[in-house]
Structure 1
């Protein structure tokens, strides 16, 4: 394993002390996936394909300079959205060239759906991109047709099996070319229950033959307003069982965090919020003004919020992963931390339990709270919380800013 791979946190589990930076310069996308919502101007979500701001190449360079001065062990700069790096190749190329001129020793990588790989494979080599991630969710067009709504290639829109066939052809052809020319290729596979879960082992075997270095099987994140919004979640046990089976054929990634398109820092400690203060303040002021406009919110002397947080600074935990909730009091315009309450974790390594006992105990613990703030929450616990008049708000931000955002969202809902 060369030095660039040893210090790339997505390609080596031993590189956890090295930081990466995603530059969100790719605005366009050339396929429509049934699990993707292209709402990328979102400060308050943490998942692939979202960013607080789309950057121009010169803005990406400016942000890189700031990040480099503040983040130790920054080893990787990559383009991972919010669209597709190759569908927006002019912006991708210019951004990487500018940053490479500033620091040629960095590792450069990009992520793509692979539709345009055959068109830009030589350019990728010329740019000095050493690591490429390709998302390949199916190697049978009939299965791919269930995942991709349409494919837009060179001015032509294809749907169904025809579109999936073209996508697969270009993915595998590009993968083979890059692998044969020294580029390390990781293949991402989104596990979608009922669609491709029994097909993934075949995907792994096929991409191995094409030259993939490793695969990263990721659980579907159901996103509102998409065809797969109500698809069931995959437990960690189910995920790791499949990864273990596939590791018999090809190296597997177990430590993926399914990062945002503007992620900064180590995988286990994202620092992207530090570089979004301007956007955060704008949204905070907007949310605060909404709160102050609504008498409904000022009539109550005290309101409590339960926050799922790893360390008590940022809303950064899935509801089901919280072992305790940070309780905050909102009184007029004041936000104050009150206490930390322990709960039985809703999701274990084996399952995200839908048992009445477990969710019931959590609800009893936070029954005096008006809302729960977490990065993500499943539809079942969300519905059960609502039955007890507790609103679930999905948000990713510093806690006070997140509470103001939640207040604004709740006020908007109540005023129609």
Structure 2
């Protein structure tokens, strides 16, 4: 063991008991010393804890800088080979997902052609070690394509590329299936049913990891619109928040699902929670994520205000509709009353004219004339009642509809 490595290990051991700020500083300095000396970390990594394990934190910073200097599949192969010797078997999967996907996202601006990862993996050899190296390189390249939302290209790479095929049975890992789901949700050639099937397969897998959950929710959030999308994202994000209550990303995904479902107040509460958790997070991409969350918050606020305006407009429409209905009922009632008055008035005029003819002409006796007037009046009264009754029967159903609708 050289002097630089011995010094770094001693400092990292001491950093275990230090506070968070001091531990971060020590890990940054140790990674910089290893880079300057041209010496990869020569210690074992046993966890993927970015908050408490100084050895993982130091190795993470070392390889992040290596990827930034040369963000290619060649660096991914070198990192995977180092992991074969230095990362314990029980932590290899978590470390591989963290480094491959994370560095793919951070270096999304430097996307290799699909042939370069295949060429880099070609010399990795076979067996379990070769498959793990191919799997790591596949995740690294897929992380770039995912970050750039190259859905169809990602689908083709995962399904058909030699690098992906060389991963062997590791292609059945939940995180790999989640990436296929992400690609399918964004593709314009694959169906929503196919994407949803992949999503549920990855989501229900026993070995589901935090990155698997994140990719599943990411695919749902950025999928082309489809019926039930908001509710599906909301229900899965709620489950993720219950399992990881301190994860800012899952609160942000939940806010997106609630926003899609029209529950703007709850969405605003969750995006504010995501911003607060992000501020306390040591993530390297805090600035970019904060911008994304603030943009989402603005969209939620705008949707909330639009919903309030729509509710007010709907209330005004309902009030206007009620007023129009009342006016229509009043006009209808007035016209019916007018018909009834005209009928009665017509009967009265006819009675008056007829009674004058009876009384002024003819030579009937007074008693006969009185009986004739009585009969004529009764007939005209019956006529008036028939007109009024018929009008009431005709308009009764209309009145009933008005009452039931009111």
Query: Structure 2 length normalisation: TM-score?
Result: 0.31
The structure richer in strand per residue is 1
By relative contact order (CA 8 Å, sep 6+), the higher-ranking structure is: 1
The structure richer in helix per residue is 2
